[in-house]
Homo-oligomer: A and B are copies of this chain.
Amino acid sequence: MEPKKPATIHQVARLAGVSHTTVSRYLADADSLKPKTRVKVEFAVKTLDYRPNLVARSMRTRRTNRLAIVLASGPHFPGRLLAAASETAHKAGYQVEVVSVEGGPRARSARIEDLARSGQVEGILAISPTGLKSKRLRQVPIVESETYDDKLRGLGELADASEVVEIVEYLASLGHRSFFHVAGDQDFASARNRKAVYLEAIERLGLRSVGVYDGDWTAQSGFDAITSLAGDCGVTAVVAANDVVAMGVVRGALSRGWSVPGDLSVFGWDDEVMGEFATPSLSTVAVDREAQGRDAILRLLAEIRGEPAPEPAARTINRLIFRESTAPPPA
C-alpha cells in the first residue's frame, strides 16, 4: 500500500514528452491532437493513473460542477425522486450535494439563500416549498420541483392536481354524492392545488362536499379528520392527500364502525407499496417520481446553461389505480 500522491498534469506531460498545455488540450478535447501525440499522452495518463485535480480545475474555471438538492425534513422523504435526480445529475457530469433543512419556511429560504451565495453550487433544486419569489439568486438558478412542471406545460398552476378531477368523477360515477377531502400541508403547492381542484370539481359536477380538513400529510391527520366528522354528515367518499393519509382515514373510519369500502370509499395518492398490500388495498394515483426527478434536474441544467426549458422527456402520466378501497356507496 502506497500513499503516493496523485500525479499532476506536469508529470504526465514530462512522461509523455509533451508540454503541460498539450495534456490540458487532451483533457479538453482529445481529438484535437495529432494521433501520435494523443497515443503518447494516453499512455502517460494510464501509466500514472492520472486524474485531473478537480479542485484546481474549478479554481481556474470558476465552475464547480455541483448542484444542490434541498429537501425539508418531514413526514415524507422523496426518496425515489431524489435518487433519480441525483443519478441524472451524475450522468451530466454534476455532483450532487444534498441539504436537508430543518425548521420552517423561514429557515428554509435562509438556508437556500446561503447556499446560493456560497458559490459552491451552480444550481439548486428545491424539493419542497422554498418560500422564494425569484427563481434565481446571485446568478444561481433555482428550480422548485413542486411547481415548475405545471408552469412549464403551460397548463396553469393546477395541472399537477388535475387527477383530482378524475378521482371525483370516478367516485361520482360509482354513485357517490357526498365527499370529503383531507388536504396535505398547505405550505405545499401540490396540497393547495389539490384542495382547490377538489372544491372546483365538486362545484362543477353539482356534488356535495361535507368539508375539507387541512392536514399535514400524516396518517394521524387522516385519522383525526375522519373521526372529527359528525356521525350524520352523510359522507360516502374521501379524497385523501396521499396514501399515508388515506391509511389514517381508513383506520379512523373502521374505528367508528364504518366499513371501507362498504360505507366509505377512500382514494389515496402516490401508489405506495404498503397501500397496495393493505386491507383494503388503496385506490390511488401512480406518480412517476423518477421522471419528476429527472425532469427537474434537466430543467435546472438548461437553466444553468441559459438554454430554453426542455420539454419533459417522458411526459409524466399520473395514472389512476382502482383497488379495494373504493366501491359504490351503501344503498
**Stretch from A12-20, A82-90, A181-189 contacting the other chain:** A82-90
A222 to B277, CA, bound (A): 10
Determine whether the beta carbon of B100 is less than 8 Å from that of A98: no
B-contact bits for A48-70, CB 8 A (1 contact / 0 none): 01010111101100001000010
In A212-249, the 8 Å CB interface with B consists of 218-219, 222-223, 243-244, 247-248
CB of A77 within 8 A of chain B?
Answer: yes
Query: In the complex, how many residues of chain A place their beta carbon closer than 8 angstroms to a beta carbon of chain B?
Result: 55
On whether A51 and B118 interact (CB within 8 A), knowing A86-B99, A100-B87, the answer reads yes
Which of A33-41, A167-175, A267-275 touches B?
A: A267-275
**A257 sits at the interface (CB 8 A):** no
Instruction: Decide: A273 near B219, CB < 8 A? Known: A64-B55, A79-B79, A278-B247.
Output: yes
A274–B55 touching, CB < 8 Å:
no
CB closest chain-B residue, reference A254: B279
A243 to B96, CA, bound (A): 31
Selected from B77, B83, B100, B222, the residue in CB contact (under 8 A) with A100 is: B83
Query: In the docked arrangement, what's the CA distance between A26 and B6, Å?
Result: 31
List B contacts of A53 (CB < 8 A): 59, 119
- A139 on the B face (CB < 8 A): yes
Contact B98 A82 (CB under 8 A): yes
Q: Which 9 A-B pairs rank lowest in CB-CB distance, beginning with the nearest?
A: A77-B79, A274-B274, A83-B100, A251-B277, A98-B98, A247-B277, A219-B277, A55-B58, A86-B100
A-B contact pairs, 6 of them (CB 8 A): A51-B117, A55-B55, A87-B102, A218-B273, A244-B277, A251-B281
Given A6-B119, A219-B276, A279-B279, 14 other A-B residues pairs in contact with their CB atoms under 8 A? A51-B119, A56-B59, A75-B273, A77-B80, A82-B98, A95-B120, A97-B97, A97-B98, A219-B274, A244-B277, A251-B278, A251-B281, A274-B278, A278-B279
